[in-house]
Amino acid sequence: MAGEVAPARAIWRLGDYHRFALEQMWEIGPIVVEACGISSGQRALDVAAGTGNVAIRAAEAGAEVVASDITPENLEAGRKEAEARGVSIEWIEADAQALPFNDDEFDVVTSSFGAIFAPDHQRVADELVRVCRPGGTIGMTSFPPVGMAADIFGVIAPYMPASPPDAQSPLLWGTDEHVKALFGDGAGSLQISNLVYTERCASPQAYVALYKETFGPVVSVYEALRDEPGRLATLERDFLDFAERANRGASDGSAEYPYEYKLIVARTRTE
């Protein structure tokens, strides 16, 4: 696991992901918990949990929760947030492609904009099904290949190191046919819904600054270009152009960015 996930861990430990999640995506957790019907008496696993967006809400709903992530800094921030909210969660460092749990161990398995970033999608799907009991629930959120997320990825991608040739784009998880093929016979039923959440900032400039300060992949790109002032200036221009062009905020100068996303709920087969 160590060699395979080390580059991703190095990226996601940069910045302040917990601040980003609290300010922009914290509303997603209750949506996943409700869609999966998480409640007291269940044992739940949140994969690539980040700092606990879903895991903390699942614990607040009464479930016994395990949260896994490849980034120790995320786990530590999540642990502190859970303690502040008065809930108990077991935090475990783990790769979504090789989960250190037994077959059929959990009633519910979730991953919100997390496991989609692992390079081998089939391994991820197989692991989610493996650790979920027969008749259990798998809940995920993902970004489609067209929309706000794809646009912002498109701004950053030209400046990032090349991905391994066999790595799959996280945006494929936003394609219904891809998701259906991944879960295959492992899912007795599969429901995919199209939803929207909105990221907000005081201005487009503040939005760019937020990503530069908090979001690991963006922080890593800016750090890598520190000694290339020409490319750095081009990235800065491209990013601000995107933030101004994509802004759906009011005329007072505030910034709003609606992100389309998929809510995936699968029920594992009982036989």
Q: Write down the pTM of the prediction.
A: 0.95
pLDDT band at 2 (very low <50, low <70, confident <90, very high): very low
Q: What mean pLDDT is reported for the chain?
A: 95
**Homologous superfamily of the 2-198+261-268 domain (CATH):** Vaccinia Virus protein VP39 (3.40.50.150)
Judged by average pLDDT, the poorest of 5-14, 19-28, 122-131 is 5-14
- At residue 122, φ and ψ (nearest 5 deg) are -65, -40
Tens of pLDDT, residue by residue over 183-215, are 999 999 999 999 999 999 999 999 999 999 999
**Phi-psi domain of 36 (left: phi exceeds 0; alpha: psi -120 through 50; beta: other):** alpha
The token pair at 145 is: 């290949």
Whole-angstrom CA distances from 38 to 160, 190, 224, 245 are 38, 17, 41, 39
Task: Tell me what the mean pLDDT of segment 38-51 comes to.
Answer: 98
| Torsion, Cα of 87, 90, 95, 96 (10° steps) | -60
Range(s) of the chain covered by CATH 3.40.50.150: 2-198+261-268
